[in-house]
Amino acid sequence: MKNKTPVVELNVIGQDTTNWGADLKIKDGLDLLAEELDKIDGLEWLRLLYLYPAGITDKLIETIARSKKITHYLDIPIQHINDDILRKMHRPDSEERICRLIEKVRKALTDIVLRTTLIVGFPGETEQQFKQLVEFVKWAQFDALGCFKYYAEQGTEAARISGQVPEDIKQKRLEELMFIQQEIAFAKNKQRVDTELRCLVDSPNNDGTYEGRFYGQAPDIDSICIIKNCSAQPGQFIKTRVEETKNYDLIVSQI
C-alpha cells in the first residue's frame, strides 16, 4: 500500500455546529467532539465553522483556548443586530448578548479572527435599523464579513411579512455596508505587514508563486496568502513574512 498524505486540516461544517449532538441528547456535544478530534495524530488545524451566537458557551470558548489544534477563527452568522429584526428572524439573540459575546471571545482569544454574515433589507427593516447595523459593524471590526440582500423565498413566513424593502434600497444598503467592511478589512491587512505568519501551502500558481493560507483564512471562502520564494509542497506548513497587501489578499515570502 502506498503511503498516504496525512490530513493536516479538518473543517467541521454545519448549519449550526454548536447544535451538534442535540438530536442524541448529548450535552455540550461540540465540546466533546472537538476534544476527540483534537487527539487525531498529524492533524494541525481543526476549524469550527458556522457557530450561532446563542450556542457559543463559556465552556466552548475554554475548549478552543485550551486546544492546540482548534484554529482561533470563528465564523459566527449574526444576520442582524437590531432586536426587532432578530425576533422576526426567529433568532434567540439580542444586540446586548451578541456584543457581550464578541467582547468575551476577544478577551479569551486575543488573536481571534472573526467572520460573520449579515442580511440587509429584511422585511420591515427601517433606515434607522440599518444605521444601527452599520454602527455595529464599525464597532465590531470583523476580519471578514459576507452580506446578502434578503430574498423573498416563496412559501416562507418572511415572504408574507408586510413592509417588503424595495430592491433598489436593498442594493444601496448592501453596497454601503460592504464598502465600510472593505475599509476595515484592508486596514487590518495593512497591520499584518512586516509580521510573521505560519502558512499552509495549498497550490502552485503559473507565475511561480504559491497560494496558501494562515489560520485566519478558511478554504474557498476567505482571502488567501500569495507566497513568494516558496520551496514547500502543497500540504506543508511554512514560516512567512508579510511583505504587502493586494486588496483582501496578503503577499508573503517564505523565510
Q: How confident is the model over 199-225, as pLDDT tens digits?
A: 999 999 999 999 999 999 999 999 999
Beta bridge partners of 75: 115
Q: Which helix (H) or strand (E) holds 70?
A: none
For residue range 79-136, list pLDDT tens digits in order.
999 999 999 999 999 999 999 999 999 999 999 999 999 999 999 999 999 999 999 9
Total domains in the fold of the chain: 2
The pLDDT of residue 1? 42
DSSP strands (E only) in the chain: 9-13, 45-49, 73-75, 113-120, 144-149, 196-204, 210-213, 225-228, 237-246, 249-254
CATH code at position 149 = 3.80.30.20
Q: What percent of the chain has pLDDT over 70?
A: 98
The pLDDT of residue 6? 78
Instruction: Determine the 3-state secondary structure of 75 from DSSP.
Output: strand
Instruction: Specify whether 152 is located in the same domain as 207.
Output: no
Q: How far apart are CA 81 and CA 128, in angstroms?
A: 12
CA-based nearest residue to 148, from 124, 168, 178, 126: 178
Q: How far apart are CA 33 and CA 48, in angstroms?
A: 11
Beta bridge partners of 240: 197, 254
Helices 167-191 and 127-140, axial angle in degrees (round to 10): 10
Q: Is a pLDDT exceeding 60 seen at residue 14? A: yes
Average model confidence (pLDDT) across the chain: 95
Q: Is a pLDDT exceeding 80 seen at residue 2? A: no
Instruction: Specify whether 156 is located in the same domain as 171.
Output: yes
Instruction: Specify whether 59 is located in the same domain as 180.
Output: yes
For residue range 26-40, list pLDDT tens digits in order.
999 999 999 999 999
Boundary residue ending a domain (170, 191, 212): 191
* Residue at 3 is within a domain: no
Instruction: Specify whether 43 is located in the same domain as 167.
Output: yes
Range of the domain at 229: 196-254
Instruction: Specify whether 131 is located in the same domain as 155.
Output: yes
CA-based nearest residue to 143, from 225, 75, 50, 241: 75
Top-confidence residue, 154 or 243:
243
Q: Is the pTM of this model over 0.75?
A: yes
Instruction: Specify whether 58 is located in the same domain as 171.
Output: yes
Instruction: Look up residue 2 and give its three cell numbers.
Output: 502506498
Beta bridge partners of 74: 114
